[in-house]
Chain A
């Protein structure tokens, strides 16, 4: 009985996939469109969503902060800035240099946010969010500055920054999927350390865990998953924030079930969001990143309200 409730995740995932494969003006009729256009796009949405959902669950656990996710901490902005820099310097999107650079951007931005938040002394939830917002804003400004001065090439890059899943190279999709799967596997194997960190680093230390080492490990895994997601689809926010909160209601807070469920849930959420973006407003197409922001920003406000109320 207890295990049966977890069947909801594959069921929701399957429904989201069907929706994504069927969404669009041609419906189910054109086999070619489904196979050649919608299938790769659905796979891309699944990979990006899984990576972001995974990263959100890891950040929320290791930082003991329910407001954190790769978008809010500046991880995505760091990865996006690095990706834009690579595109403009002519680095191939499938080259290891590109993936290394995007990861470095993600990791650097995340550690900068974390370090800034720690400057205030005790790490508070609010300080971390503020630091992340500051880092994100600065990196986004850098990206916009670069795009404005890049001229002709900037139009397609602009869509990348907005977060869209238009033309995904199969090689990028495969490399990113492998990175996300490996990060998820390592994180699942260390679920107990993540649970201990969710009780705070002082408690974790005394349970036999090295909090500094685990923080770097889980930051690395979350940044790897985020940068792999960004390499496919650019900046897409709020998947990592919302998914863990929603799936936690079914799995409970323990990372053992939460981490895989957040990856599945994120995949389903983004596949549905992308399908909604290209069917509800037809013939125009809304990037998945915009759809997620429309749904996610109000969710974040509700979460802020709930968190502040819980403390008083």
Chain B
């Protein structure tokens, strides 16, 4: 059974459709990048996949179930989502923030179980942030904080991981580190979908690509097919020989 199956998805903010008749599916182990020009619907797509944005036509199925009919707590156990930036004025520690990933599993009335603690520790080990578990998330660099929210998503133990621009604002070291981490997670059987800004990053482990080219048009397939230089050039509106495109 696919972790995610999208069929005939259509959505618009105004009269013109942003996403039109979009269909694709992700299986456990798939690592998909979502590319396309600004405003072409990449971030909107992720929010439609989790039901955070409502009002789309067509169907989104998570683990075989229509997303609109999934109860909130179960939704968080099926799909985890990492926003491009999460900020708070309050000094939550890294551990507290990651533990909140257990919200849907811990129930409201109890404290955290040892099992919740173990899941959080494991997620912090996996993302390499265990060494600042006690620090406030507001004292971390942008890249470190991004890793904290990825760890929070991992602590949810969902089978589908969605990330909105996980590498924007980050330097090359963090970019490659985060892409390697996501590829490793896909290798362990998670289905991963990440909105990216640079086509070159897709080479770091993605096996599927979804390319939006504006006005609802898209192509979906393997990285080699979908992200060929001429297709990227057309989607982004740059010359095919642009040095910005991957060779």
Contacts and interface: CB of A to CB of B under 8 A. Distances in A.
A198 B96 CA distance: 12
Contact of B108 (A66, A193, A199, A307): A193
A90 to B, nearest CB: 43
Contact of B52 (A198, A202, A254): A202
A209 B86 contact: no
Contacts of A207: 76, 100-101, 103-104, 152, 156
Nearest to B91: A253
A209 B91 contact: no
Contacts of B44: none
A210 interface: yes
Contacts of B50: 205-206
Contact of B103 (A189, A202, A208, A253): A208
Contact of B89 (A189, A193, A203, A310): A310
B86 A199 contact: yes
B86 A196 contact: no
Contacts of A66: 89-90
Contacts of B72: 205, 208-210
B100 A196 contact: yes
B77 to A, nearest CB: 7
Contacts of B52: 202, 205-206
Nearest to B89: A66
Contacts, number: 80
A207 B74 CA distance: 10
Given A207-B76, A207-B103, A253-B90, A189 B109 contact: yes
B97 interface: yes
B170 interface: no
Contacts of B104: 207-208
B88 A198 contact: yes
Interface in A202-227: 202-203, 205-210
B185 interface: no
Interface in A43-72: 64-66
A93 interface: no
A307 B138 CA distance: 13
Give the interface size bracket for B toward A.
20 to 34
A179 B75 CA distance: 34
Contacts of B111: 256
B9 to A, nearest CB: 19
Interface string B72-106: 11111101110100111111110011001101101
Contacts of B108: 189-190, 192-193
A111 B149 CA distance: 31
Contacts of A254: 92, 96
B92 A208 contact: no
A192 B103 contact: yes
A208 B73 contact: yes
A253 B100 CA distance: 13
Given A189-B109, A208-B103, A198 B83 contact: no
Interface string B46-71: 00001010000000000000000000
B195 to A, nearest CB: 15
B135 to A, nearest CB: 12
Given A199-B86, A206-B81, A208-B75, A192 B100 contact: yes
Contacts of B79: 206
A151 B89 CA distance: 47
A206 B90 contact: no
A127 to B, nearest CB: 15
Contact of A198 (B90, B101, B152, B156): B90
A296 interface: no
A189 B50 CA distance: 27
Counting from the closest, the 10 A-B pairs by CB-CB distance are A208-B104, A208-B76, A253-B90, A206-B81, A207-B103, A208-B73, A66-B89, A210-B72, A199-B88, A208-B103
8 contacts: A192-B103, A198-B88, A199-B88, A199-B92, A199-B97, A200-B87, A206-B81, A248-B90
